[in-house]
Chain A
Amino acid sequence: MAWETVIGLEVHLQLATRSKIFSGSATNFGAAPNTQANAVDLAMPGMLPVLNEQAVAFAVKFGLGIGAEIGKRSVFDRKNYFYPDLPKGYQISQFEAPIVGRGVFEITLSDGSTRDIGITRAHLEEDAGKSLHEDFHGLSGIDLNRAGTPLLEIVSEPDIRNAEEAVAYLKALHSLVTYLGISDGNMAEGSMRCDINISLRPQGTETLGTRAEIKNVNSFRFVEKAIQHEFDRQADILDDGGTVVQETRLYDAERDETRPMRSKEVANDYRYFPEPDLLPVVIDDAYIENLRKDLPELPVQKRQRFTEAYGLSTYDAGVLADSRALADYFEAVTKRCGDAKIAANWVQVELLGQLNKSELSIGDSPVSADKLGGLIERILDNSISGKIAKQVFEAMWQGEGSADEIIEARGLKQVSDSGELEALVDEVIASSAAQVQQYLEADEGKRKKLVGYFVGQVMKLSKGQANPKMVNELLAKKLV
């Protein structure tokens, strides 16, 4: 049977606050175990939570970023369960009255089409600690540094239909939250973790099938693989006439499979109730407007502006607007050189290519936007050819200075002196009798191809420094 996949995602986003959501402990990643766990985080007797204002502001910014309803009176609840990485025996979360209500989020797929994914809600909660399974004589070790790190749990509607959409949704979300500056989005450090709710139903039907929840998938690639694997698993069961069991599963990246989580075998009863140590969070319109006023231009708006103001393709605009840093870089290059299309091309091809190869982020680029803009200026004023420009870029990457300095030092300035060029052209024609003959006998269409040989020879003679446009013009004049 043809199955349709129905996917809803729950994303746990670590918010980029300095201190924890309910205590004054630091939230730095990678600190020695339990050195960032204070009395509140350790649930020492008598300790009480106090809410971090930045966590609230970040959550509201997110809500504004997706045009969602903002919960003007949101309530924290206790979610009760026992687990060693949960020191209080309950997680402080939001259940009935979340801080962010319904919203919609637009994603763009690889074919350029867009889809709206509904956001059910987003709520604030605290992260748990970590259980380390390295063997301590058959025991586990508990590190509570992460306990109390603020999380925004973003819950989508079951609007996602396949792995590509899921990844596009996550990437767009990643882009949005880093634009907003509410999360560092560092997936390798667990700043964005994803639970996947997935079920199948016969193509063309509306009723939802039984779902499985896959916990804690931590990279775009794993999301894709986990969905693929889970689709295969469920389809096999259903094709054999079986039924899918509602359960929580874990994606094992090493074996590329999902398997049931043993700790979740017994259905839990979380006994949610309003956290009596915290009071309702009440925010007013002035507070919301204040945050709205300071919102940066968001990816969707930026993409649109890039196509309209710079005439970029939707694809190019999408790549360049993907991260705020890259978009800012691109705009700085454009500002310097004055040509957005060439700037877009250089940023996407040369710069991103080098960055990817060196595994660097845009912020760490050894070539500044200003320098790249300076290089493009030299292409535009015909000082150098595009090919030479690539050499100059390489040199800039190695830290040899600005484009002008490198062109000067290496003597790469394009030959545009017509006398000098004419001599070169004459020399090539003189030494290529056979090709000249062939050219003269060819029809118009073929000639266009054949002229490339002469251009190449001239460029070779000039060590790439001949102005290709002028060479073409000279050849056209002389090859008659």
Chain B
Amino acid sequence: MHTLTVAQLMQGLRDKQFSSTEVTQCLLQRIGELDAQYNSFITVDADRALAQARAADQRLEQGQTTPLTGIPVAHKDIFCTEGVRTSCGSRMLDNFAPPYDATVIKQFHDAGAVVLGKTNMDEFAMGSSNESSFYGAVRNPWDTGRVPGGSSGGSAAAVAACLAPAATGTDTGGSIRQPAALCGITGLKPTYGRVSRLGMIAFASSLDQGGPMARSAEDCALLLNAMAGHDPLDSTSAEAPVPNYTEHLGDSLEGLRVGLPREYFSEGLDAATGECIQTALKELEARGATLVDVSLPHTQLTVPTYYIIAPAEASTNLSRFDGVRYGHRCDDPKDLHDLYTRTREEGFGDEVKRRILVGTYALSAGYYDAYYKKAQQVRRLIKQDFTQCFDEVDILAGPTTPGPAFGLGEKSDDPVSMYLEDIYTLAVNLAGLPAMSVPAGFVGGLPVGLQLIGRHFDESRLLNVAHQYQQHTDWHLQRPDSAAGGSN
């Protein structure tokens, strides 16, 4: 039961093959049995999940179903959940149970989903390895000595290990796609503004975007149907109409023009990973697509651009954590200054502090023009690269990451080399584009992800390509050995 996709679970629940309570119980049990080796969950509220499952079963019984009635999902611990701890992977919010739900949480609730729990993540979503969590590193189900990627590493590991059929994630510079790639699952980062950011704890406001992580493109489409839409309480939320994302899954790829950004296949890309991607591209060709050589000339600049803009926005987004209204507060502050500086010293981890400091520096008097303004200008150049490509092609394709999952601790002492891991994913956020990572093979037993990038609001096309690819490959059906045990 635990290996079923969302689509299969929906069918099974409708056909009364099993109840939501049974599915939920099975998954809760698996989490209890197996998650010690992954550390993918921060909070599991079994009672609440089962209560929701029972309520869903009643609705199923009465025929009052909504699209995801009774489907268990896990939420990244960045989405505020009313009355349930929402830590954002930080000591700062270890004691924080918000009195409200994020819009995304409400949407899943309205769609009938059951919440299994809250997944582990890099602290405040800052990281590419999930090692910066206050709750400890998450381990990759394919090799527990390796990282699952980040920052949505808990969600990726939980889905890969079949502890949840699907999960939410957020992607500021690759935080859905990179862990999806490293854990061998399918993840979609929607167009900026497609999914509401209300109640999603902000890292970098102009880059953050929530999205689905699942074991198939079809499941991502089903989840996105629930998540997408205009939110009047988020000024940056897009008003563009929301299509039914499953509608075009079956379309043929005949005539599809796929651009291959030459910069994504150059030095820095692990050779074996590159081969997996080439094989995947041949498969697209076999399905009728035409491959076109294109260029994103400013690719090298995406890392420095991102690592100014994201920390700058983060540095002020995180100013609200001051020990006054919620969250951690240091003991016995001797004055106001002490309250602020000690609360923030204790509440934030090293990587978060580093980014706050870099961002503060980039915005400070005398440096603003040289750093922040310059980065926002280069950002426009990066977006224009994509606009030009999309005059010629329908989607872009390439690797999600330069190589497969690296070892725990391997890069944690070297922030810059960790940042370079994001070279293929950052530009998408800077340009606000939708993109996916789709399992496309293995290198040394570790999954490799194929990245697909689309035009603004063209998620349907990405899902269509990914689905067609998955109809003719079985990489997404592979399961890690470590997840073989446990209840099923």
Contact = CB atoms under 8 A, between A and B. Distances in A.
Indicate, yes or no, whether A interacts with B. yes
Interface of A: 39, 42-51, 78, 80, 82, 84, 87-90, 142, 269, 271-273, 276-279
22 contacts: A43-B325, A45-B80, A45-B93, A45-B202, A45-B320, A46-B80, A46-B102, A48-B197, A48-B198, A48-B234, A49-B235, A50-B235, A80-B363, A84-B336, A89-B316, A271-B316, A271-B365, A273-B316, A273-B363, A273-B368, A276-B206, A279-B235
Contacts of A45: 80, 86, 88, 93, 96, 98, 201-202, 320, 326
Contacts of A84: 322, 324, 336
A44 B320 CA distance: 8
Interface in B203-261: 204-206, 232-236
B interface, by DSSP: helix, strand, loop or mixed? loop
A278 B235 contact: yes
B312 interface: yes
Contacts of B96: 45
B131 to A, nearest CB: 22
B199 interface: yes
Contacts of B204: 276
A48 B233 CA distance: 7
Find the residue from B80, B234, B320 having the highest chain A CB count within 10 A: B320
Contacts of A88: 319-320
Contacts of B202: 45-46, 277
Interface in B344-390: 360, 363-365, 368, 372
A82 B344 CA distance: 12
Contacts of B365: 269, 271
Contacts, number: 93
A42 B235 CA distance: 18
A446 to B, nearest CB: 80
A340 B44 CA distance: 79
A46 B197 contact: yes
B422 interface: no
B316 A78 contact: yes
Interface in B79-102: 79-80, 86, 88, 93, 96, 98-100, 102
Contact of B319 (A48, A90, A279): A90
A276 B98 contact: no
B236 A43 contact: no
Contacts of A87: 320, 324-325
Contact of B233 (A50, A78, A273): A50
A45 B321 CA distance: 9
Contacts of B206: 276
Nearest to B92: A45
Does more than half of chain A's interface fall in helix, strand or loop, or is it mixed?
A: loop
Given A50-B235, A51-B235, A271-B360, A44 B98 contact: yes
A271 B198 CA distance: 25
A69 B205 CA distance: 31
Nearest to B336: A84
A46 B198 contact: yes
Contact of B340 (A82, A276, A279): A82
A271 B364 contact: yes
A17 to B, nearest CB: 17
B200 interface: yes
B232 A50 contact: yes
Contacts of B234: 48, 50
Contacts of A43: 320, 325
B35 interface: no
Contacts of B93: 45
A405 B363 CA distance: 74
B171 interface: no
Nearest to A84: B324
B325 A47 contact: no
Nearest to B312: A273
Contacts of B360: 271
A195 to B, nearest CB: 21
Nearest to B373: A273
Enumerate the 8 nearest inter-chain pairs by beta-carbon distance, A residue then B residue, closest first.
A89-B319, A276-B205, A271-B363, A46-B199, A276-B206, A43-B320, A45-B201, A269-B365
B135 to A, nearest CB: 17
B313 interface: yes
Given A45-B88, A45-B96, A277 B325 contact: no
Contacts of A279: 235-236
Nearest to B93: A45
Nearest to B309: A276
Contacts of B102: 46
Nearest to A40: B233
A89 B320 contact: yes
B235 A44 contact: no
A273 B368 CA distance: 9
A122 B136 CA distance: 50
A277 B102 CA distance: 16
B377 to A, nearest CB: 13
Contacts of B340: 82
B134 to A, nearest CB: 15
Contacts of A142: 324
Contacts of B199: 46-47
Given A49-B235, A279-B235, A42 B325 contact: yes
A55 to B, nearest CB: 14
A46 to B, nearest CB: 4
A88 B205 CA distance: 14
Contacts of A80: 316, 319, 363
A78 B319 CA distance: 11
A49 B202 CA distance: 13
- Residue of A43, A46, A278, A279 contacting most chain B CB atoms (<10 Å): A46
A82 B338 CA distance: 12
> For B205, B206, B235, B313, which residue has the most chain A Cβ atoms within 10 angstroms?
B235
B333 to A, nearest CB: 10
Contacts of B233: 48, 50
A272 B316 CA distance: 10
B87 to A, nearest CB: 10
A332 to B, nearest CB: 44
Nearest to B326: A44
A277 B314 CA distance: 12
A278 to B, nearest CB: 5
Contacts of A276: 204-206, 236, 313
A201 to B, nearest CB: 27
A90 B364 CA distance: 14
Contacts of A272: 363, 368
Nearest to B361: A271
B310 to A, nearest CB: 11
B281 to A, nearest CB: 36
B239 to A, nearest CB: 12
Contacts of A49: 235
Nearest to B360: A271
A42 B325 CA distance: 7
Given A45-B202, A46-B102, A276-B204, 4 more contacts: A39-B99, A48-B233, A88-B319, A276-B313
B100 A39 contact: yes
Nearest to B324: A84
A269 B232 contact: no
A47 B100 CA distance: 10
A276 B200 CA distance: 15
Contacts of B100: 39, 44
B265 to A, nearest CB: 32
Contacts of B88: 45
Nearest to A82: B340
Contacts of B205: 276-277
A264 to B, nearest CB: 14
Nearest to A140: B336
Nearest to B318: A89
Contact of B322 (A50, A82, A271): A82
Name the residue among B79, B319, B372 with the largest chain A CB count within 10 angstroms: B319
B79 to A, nearest CB: 8
Which of B80, B88, B325 has the most CB atoms of chain A within a 10 A radius of its CB? B325
Contacts of B198: 46-48
